[in-house]
């Protein structure tokens, strides 16, 4: 018990020293390993699901509102898959139609969106190691891990072994939607 109290006091003193040296204005970016997932952003993604590979620009417009603009493979280039509370909408050129989650790309998109949205609601404490914070969650009862940069809070990767899904993110930028329609808000 004495050993525990001694270690707790040493850790507390070290934390106070770090905070007093850093000053009040320069708070640590993600104290307690908590990242803000509840924001709007865009990011590039290399997606691998089973033997299928794709590239997409992903835009999180808000909770439950997503767009995936595919550039690869060639068969999907130019297609945008939108997810919201009404389900999926696929569009290509001037054509747009409602779609169901039929596996493949729509399942990958659903896992990415569901994971980020569930972490936006309750990310809990992640586990930090070598500058990466790992968050564990589930999709339909299957384990999903989201890795985030400890320094910037940007998404690094998502893995869901059950669905053989691996996603690598790059170039994440935060943005403010231009209008309330773009993020699904209704003005009254």
pLDDT digits (tens, 9 = 90+) for 84-106: 988 889 999 888 888 765 566 78
**Helix locations, the chain, DSSP H:** 2-22, 105-121
Closest-CA residue to 69 (of 96, 92, 94, 85): 92
The tokens describing 128, both together, are 């930090």
Asked if 144 contacts 136 with a C-beta cutoff of 8 angstroms, the reply is yes
Greater confidence (159 vs 185) lies with 159
Domains of the chain (ranges, CATH numbers): 40-172 (2.50.20.10)
**Of 24-28, 60-64, 72-76, 82-86, minimum mean pLDDT range:** 24-28
Give phi and psi for 161, each to the nearest 5: -55, -35
Greater confidence (145 vs 182) lies with 145
pLDDT at 82: 94
Whether the predicted pLDDT of 113 surpasses 50: yes
Whether the predicted pLDDT of 18 surpasses 50: no
Give phi and psi for 181, each to the nearest 5: -65, -35
Whether the predicted pLDDT of 1 surpasses 70: no
């Amino acid at each position: 018990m004495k050993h525990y109290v001694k270690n707790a006091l040493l850790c507390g003193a070290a934390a106070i020293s770090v905070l007093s040296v850093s000053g009040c204005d320069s708070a640590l970016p993600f104290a307690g390993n908590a990242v803000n997932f509840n924001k709007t952003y865009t990011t590039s993604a290399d997606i691998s699901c089973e033997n299928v590979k794709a590239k997409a620009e992903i835009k999180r417009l808000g909770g439950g509102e997503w767009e995936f603009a595919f550039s690869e493979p060639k068969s999907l280039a130019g297609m945008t898959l939108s997810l919201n509370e009404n389900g999926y909408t696929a569009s290509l050129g001037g054509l747009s139609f409602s779609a169901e989650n039929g596996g493949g790309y729509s399942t990958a998109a659903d896992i990415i969106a569901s994971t980020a949205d569930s972490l936006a609601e309750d990310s809990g404490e992640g586990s930090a190691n070598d500058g990466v914070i790992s968050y564990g969650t589930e999709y339909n009862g299957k384990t999903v891990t989201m890795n985030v940069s400890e320094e910037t809070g940007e998404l690094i990767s998502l893995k869901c072994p059950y669905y053989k899904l691996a996603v690598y993110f790059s170039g994440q930028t935060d943005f403010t939607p231009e209008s309330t329609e773009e993020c699904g808000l209704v003005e009254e």
